[in-house]
Structure 1
Amino acid sequence: MKKLWMLGLCLALACQSEKEKTENEVAEPEAKAPQEWTNVETKGEPTARHENAFTEVEGKFYLVGGRGERPVDIYDPETKSWSQGATPPLEMHHFQAVSFDGKLYVMGAFTGGFPDEKPIPNIYIYDPETDEWTEGPEIPEGRRRGAAGAFAYKNKLYLVCGIQNGHTDGYINWLDEYDPATDSWTQLADAPHQRDHVQAVVANNKIYVAGGRTTSAATGQTMELTVPEVDVYDFDSGTWTTLENNIPTMRAGTSSVHHGEYVVVIGGESGAMEAAHDHVEALNINNGEWESWPSLQRGRHGTQAFIYEDNIYIAAGSGNRGGGPELSSMEKYSLQ
């Protein structure tokens, strides 16, 4: 009898242990693999290029500019196909294109060859409906530059930082505002740090400027002088501050986007490595902390990224620091 009782107790304990194990397995959430960047399969491909811009206007994607003469390449996400538009009236490169009022604006751009590129003196406007380029208003002569951050906000256009004398010297910390309604320019407060080869984004009524460098071919320091600090301009107060936490991986020629509580800095180039950076780092604007996000499939610099239907898209650019190889591929990263 005692043996039977002991056997029953052992069976009961074994069942209880198995039950607890099963409950624990059910309670523990299934591990999920991190989202990765993926190459976008398309019909045809765009012209390979670097130091170009890439943006979305009215549901279509536009690759614009780059060193040399490059046509506009247009991607239709509905048909997953590329087509070509009109070639700009002059070579234009080193700029962050602005999607504004149904058109594409080019400002803060260079023309000409390394290292003595010249700032383009006017804003140029591409109309997707007519496939035509027009020469827009002049940029004030003393404020012209290339490799600058550019964006639209509350029906005005902005230029921040950049460099005046190609890759030679003349990096600056200026912030300029253009009002298309009055055809007028306003000089706003200078940023705390000079930098070029940079892009800027607006989040929560503030400008975020992260990445970039102080290019100085005149002293043989074209790639090396990367800027670690993150500068933030508050439209409400009209003042700049510098965040406590620097960008983790210093680099220039980056692409930047804003999504929710994050400013995301993508790709770039630096003197630290020959290959273009595949780093993707996200600044949480609520707590000022940086996070590492999955790397690009292909490191690249000298292009632009944007968000469309909960995906970050990036295309073209250069695969190594400097001028090549020029890329034509497009990647996306799901934000869902």
Structure 2
Amino acid sequence: MRTNTFLIIFLLLGLYETAIAQVFENYSWQTLECTGEPVARHEAAFVEVNGMFYLLGGRRIQEVSIFNPKTNTWTSGAKPPLELHHFQGVSYNGMIYIVGAHSGKYPHETPVPDVYNYNPKNDSWSKCFEMPQDRLRASTTASIYKDKLYIAGGIIDGHWDQHVTWFDSYDFKTQTWERLPDIPRYRDHATSVVCNDKLYLLGGRVTSGKIKKVFELTVGEVDVFDFKTRTWSTMEQKVPTQRAGCTAIAIKDKILFAGGESTAQKEAHNELECLDTKTETWSRLSSLPEGRHGTQLIWFNKKLYTASGCGNRGGSPELKTILSFSKI
């Protein structure tokens, strides 16, 4: 009887993986031919607002690169008031927010003490509110859930030391910060995504230049915060491919997890993996034609996009290409 039970469970898991794959079975990647080109960058944000895509930040002070997916055209926007990199960009009420960012050069980058926003309507930058001064760090994750901004983890001293497990939220309506239960483990260069009233932390590493382990200490566990119970748990299944500088996005009950860097290879990762949050099982989708880290994913009109980033582990080469994953 026990053998039959295990067999049934095995078959069901196989069916779940098949079902996940079938959602994207007619999808394929293509490198888009565009008019104009973006500024090459990495450790930056790629965010959609009102049908337009925005590449913001990255090392050096660089103008915003704006993509129109209807015409496959790139145009230029304003430069930020200072260098902003190593952050996960988010949009809220038509504005793009840069929170938990670093500024400065490797390996002792410094956390930016303020949150900045970019207004796509008038192509302008502004300083909007301060980070919690006693919990200042960068290379955090960032997600929006019900009028609140959530940031998790990070590191204080660039790529060197002082990792934290802090978890905080900012209420846009009351304009106040709140300390929340610490995340279960250290991680920076990670990504977060909200799916079905839960926040998922995926990927990342414990960047430790002080002990000469910048890329080695990747994190495989998926930590999950339940907004209803305000508690953390950890999934049994780790991410299939451990990496940092990665990106993720939620599509209904699924989370797509892509890109990144690790010591497993010189090239940036091109894996696209899918987590079914209902069954907590993983499947593998078609790989990106060109791996990259230090950028984000956009899901728009049933197409997946990613742009720019870095093609190898570390800081070069910075890319100018934009990829689309869509039905054939």
TM-superposed CA distance for 1:179, in Å, is: 0.8
Unaligned runs of 5+ in 2: 1-23
* 2:201 aligned partner, one-letter code: V
| Conservation of the 8 A alpha-carbon contact between 1:253 and 1:301 | yes
TM-superposed CA distance for 1:34, in Å, is: 5.1
TM-superposed CA distance for 1:178, in Å, is: 0.2
TM-superposed CA distance for 1:114, in Å, is: 0.2
Among 231, 248, 263, the residue aligned to 2:223: 231
Structure 1 residues 106-125: aligned runs within 5 Å: 106-125=98-117
Aligned equivalents of 2:30 and 2:164: distance in 1? 36
Deviates more, 1:316-325 or 1:77-86: 77-86
Question: What is the aligned-residue RMSD (CA, Å)?
Answer: 1.3
1:275 is paired with a residue whose SS is coil
Matched residue pairs, number? 305
1:328 aligns with 2:327: no
Counterpart residue number, 1:76: 68
Deviates more, 1:135-144 or 1:208-217: 135-144
| 1:154-175, Cα deviation, whole Å (9 max, x unpaired) | 1111111111110001222221
1:313 aligns with 2:302: no
Counterpart residue number, 2:208: 216
* 2:153 aligned partner, one-letter code: C
| 1:283-303, Cα deviation, whole Å (9 max, x unpaired) | 110111110111001000011
1:205 aligns with 2:197: yes
**Higher gyration radius (CA):** 1
| 1:74-116, Cα deviation, whole Å (9 max, x unpaired) | 1112222111010000000011111111111100110000000
TM-superposed CA distance for 1:194, in Å, is: 1.0
The 1:289/1:85 distance shift into structure 2, 3 A limit, reads same
Aligned equivalents of 1:201 and 1:130: distance in 2? 28
Aligned equivalents of 2:49 and 2:246: distance in 1? 21
Taking only the aligned residue pairs, the percentage that are identical comes to: 45
Among 168, 172, 176, the residue aligned to 2:164: 172
Aligned equivalents of 1:183 and 1:59: distance in 2? 28
Counterpart residue number, 1:159: 151
Counterpart residue number, 1:55: 47
TM-superposed CA distance for 1:271, in Å, is: 1.1
Aligned equivalents of 2:245 and 2:258: distance in 1? 9
Counterpart residue number, 1:273: 265
| Conservation of the 8 A alpha-carbon contact between 1:36 and 1:295 | no
1:96 aligns with 2:88: yes
| Conservation of the 8 A alpha-carbon contact between 1:312 and 1:335 | no
Structure 1 residues 181-200: aligned runs within 5 Å: 181-200=173-192
| Conservation of the 8 A alpha-carbon contact between 1:115 and 1:168 | yes
Counterpart residue number, 1:5: none
TM-superposed CA distance for 1:59, in Å, is: 1.0
1:55 is paired with a residue whose SS is strand
TM-superposed CA distance for 1:335, in Å, is: 6.7
Q: After the TM superposition, which segments of 4 or more aligned residues of structure 1 sit over 3 Å from their partners?
A: none
TM-superposed CA distance for 1:185, in Å, is: 0.2
Aligned equivalents of 1:111 and 1:185: distance in 2? 22
2:210 is paired with a residue whose SS is helix
Aligned equivalents of 1:335 and 1:109: distance in 2? 35
Normalised TM-score (structure 1): 0.89
Aligned equivalents of 2:279 and 2:165: distance in 1? 25
The 1:190/1:43 distance shift into structure 2, 3 A limit, reads same
Unaligned runs of 5+ in 1: 1-31
1:62 is paired with a residue whose SS is strand
